[in-house]
A and B are shown apart, each in its own frame.
Chain A
């Protein structure tokens, strides 16, 4: 009855027009609300009109979902990692890979000087693989070609054949009288998992490692929860580590009740390229013993040394003196010495049986692919090739470095004196607009966006002094060096070396 009245009103054109439209709307709204409440959460809501039948379309939670229990959660770790990475190191790499320079096909592209890959002897690798990789996937097991040798489960920490081949290669490339024991090796799918695995073995969540700065922008914190505490080194000391700085950092961290589990070194250093002297290594071992902590020495550039200064591995020092070997662990990888694109082979080399036992079990999460292991055994056992490769490689790195550093000098930019590794550490302190991280990043951005060259700014390497840049020169051809210098000149103008 009451419903009829407003309709009558509408029909009769009195005030009822408003009621006549309002009441049906209100009724309709309450009907919808009633139906929604009746629907249990598991009933499908009406299909959305967006193109929901495409695979992989992100589905937004239906309204009823959100109303009843909030959005779908992922872990705190994942939430942090999902955020866009705004560090200059990665932004620069992305920009360069998105618009890569090519002398003919893309001459205005970004020249990549931020990736420490050694492509100088790629032609030798190409030649070897095309001549020698016949039947490499299948082996001859008992006469017939068979895949079972590499198809089945292998030891997760690498085959003994590959470990032995690596031991031989390391001795050759480092060129010292050190022999590496295959049973002390644990192989992983790259150097990144090698270091992460060691962190999992040596430290608990919330513990820390002391790291001399500047250091390669690595972050082990994601899954291990391990912090890296910087120990600052300065240009007045040629960026050489001092034990007093180490001690100071150790004590300060202790005050914060964070447990230090070890020191993480890189030797040769990345990005400066320094070598640690025998005396310094001994001092570090003494320090580690005093504080009862570990030493992890990342020696992945040990094969890239071409100067007169001698490389001393911590393995040599600990072997020759009365130090506790259980606290020393070395990380090595093939990719800097032998540029095989996409080959992921890293190594943990330790004297501590317990660490080796734990690391071995952890390699199930990051083992080297069996076909890759076979390919490497084949290549590393070709002694004639390896010897020629090592010699040629060192010569080409030296020649390229000399060319590159000379080019920078003409622009008034000096580099630290280091005859090791694939990059130089350039002093651009007098070229940054303002003294500070902001000024440094302004120059970095200008070099990237205007000059179209990607360098790694010191701040990305946690360098305490602004204005230093890491320049990797081993991805260049000789002719590219001139182009690089031109582009730098365009951005910074030229200053004579006396200026």
Chain B
């Protein structure tokens, strides 16, 4: 009788088998539930409404209008302006016209209060790649980055998975609206030291995801002082900067540097992307803007692993350098997001739910802690499951954002029509009424 010999299975790497991609967490589990039963205005009115995806769909018509009226942006072939010149010189510097357009766009968003040099812009395929690349450049495997909580769940994967770098949280809580304090930063730093981790930088998201609020000027000054004091880097992820409801409320770290005469600028790096402000995550456009020459050179070389295609660069260069379009877009996008925000806050208030006062982003930070059986993570997840399975809304539990206080949830409002948002608010209302009765 033949004996079955087990063939040796060829092995995979530690990265391949690791769970650091985090796709087993509730943040992603909710998406699966949505994929299996997605809401549709006409064909599936009882489906799950996706409120866990921070996508901006409120201003597509502005993009479409531009493209209809400007065929030169999408024309790409014989006789098209710049085609041959661009065609024959392709490398990781990216199109100069595109970098110039990005620099101008970033200046416009900041109301001209900061200037950006196109030669300091490094292009990457999305902010995800930009954040990971910066982590590779600023920290060695085993080092640590300090990140204020609550933070975007994707950071656990993007900053740690292939880099081997650790995240040490800076704990923030509702007692002061989740603002970052020097005490919290110092505590995090000490905590890292006690674990024998070398802190290499602090990474902030401004405006914050998931809080939906900008960081105040005074706090930014304290954060920069802290970074200077500890001689570490400061990464400011400003991908929601164009999604602030009013232009004056967003202060960029670039403005702080400007007022300080660019002293200590060599430790500051800004990440930007068009995925949130322009609603184009499918285009995969991200940038690293660094005031540090070595970082710019290194990032540019390593960007060969994550390049943006030239047609996309050309298309966006045309669009963003059209001042009429970009000014109108920024203004209108802000107004629409602000309107949506007011709508959802009002609707939630009617249902008896309070939110953190926000002024930016594609989501609000909702407080359901009064509904928890016990102030624990388990209770929060139990509530989340109920909302997912019974109310049929996919929202993101604060624990997946590492929030230290249970009961907070991130609710996205810009990835759907107003009608769908009304339906979602009705469902929440009904749910709260039911709970009152019980």
Which residues of chain A have a CB within 8 Å of any CB of chain B?
41-42, 44-45, 47, 52-62, 65, 69-70, 72-78, 81-82, 97, 100, 119, 122, 125-138, 145-148, 150-154, 189-190, 192-193, 196, 200-205, 207, 222-223, 261, 292-294, 324, 326-327, 341-344, 352, 354-355, 358, 361-362, 364-372, 375
Q: Which residues of B contact A327 (CB under 8 A)?
A: 10
Tell me the smallest distance from the CB of B225 to a CB of chain A, in Å.
5
Evaluate whether A326 and B9 lie within 8 angstroms (CB atoms) in the complex, with A44-B263, A77-B140, A126-B77 already known: yes
State whether A202 touches B88 (Cβ < 8 A): no
Contact partners of B228 in chain A: CB under 8 A: 41-42, 65
Given contacts A151-B283, A343-B311, A355-B12, contact A81 B125 (CB under 8 A): no
Least Cβ–Cβ distance between A156 and chain B, in angstroms = 9
Are B12 and A354 within 8 A (Cβ)?
yes
Interface check B304, CB cutoff 8 A: yes
- Of all chain B residues, which has the CB nearest A93? B91
B27 on the A face (CB < 8 A): no
With A147-B60, A204-B13 known as contacts, the answer to whether A342 contacts B87 (CB < 8 A) is yes
Q: Which residue of A lies closest to B117 (CB)?
A: A56
- The interface residues of chain A lying within 8 Å CB-to-CB of B225 are 42
A223 x B307 contact (CB < 8 A) = no
Query: Contact at B87–A81, with CB atoms within 8 Å?
Result: no
Distance in angstroms from B80 CB to nearest chain A CB is 7
B38-68: CB near A (< 8 Å → 1, else 0) gives 0000000000000001010100100110011
B: contact size bracket: 35 or more
Given contacts A52-B262, A72-B267, A366-B125, contact A193 B77 (CB under 8 A): no
B128 and A364 contact, CB distance less than 8 A: yes
A52's partner among B71, B119, B263, B308 (CB-CB below 8 A) is B263
The answer to whether the Cβ of B86 comes within 8 Å of any Cβ in the partner chain is yes
16 A-B residue contacts at CB 8 Å? A56-B117, A70-B231, A74-B294, A75-B136, A77-B136, A78-B137, A137-B315, A152-B279, A153-B281, A153-B282, A193-B305, A202-B12, A343-B311, A365-B128, A366-B125, A371-B311
Contact of A200 among B16, B89, B264, B293 (CB under 8 A): B16
Known: A137-B67, A341-B90. A78 touches B12 (CB 8 A): no
Which residues of the other chain, B, contact A196 by a CB distance below 8 angstroms? 305
CB distance from B316 to the nearest CB of A (A): 9
B266 contacts the other chain (CB 8 A): yes
| Best-surrounded residue of B53, B143, B158, B284 (most CB of chain A within 10 A) | B284
**Are the C-beta atoms of B310 and A202 separated by less than 8 Å?**
no
> How many angstroms from the CA of A292 to the CA of B57 in the assembled complex?
49
B306 contacts across to A, CB distance below 8 A:
189, 193, 365-366
Beta-carbon nearest neighbor of A76 in chain B: B140
Which stretch of B295-303, B357-365, B366-374, B421-429 is in the interface?
A: B295-303
B263 pairs with A62, CB closer than 8 A: yes
With A78-B138, A130-B75, A130-B80 given, name 14 new contacts (CB 8 A).
A44-B260, A61-B266, A126-B78, A131-B77, A138-B67, A146-B64, A152-B281, A200-B162, A222-B302, A324-B7, A326-B9, A341-B87, A354-B16, A371-B309
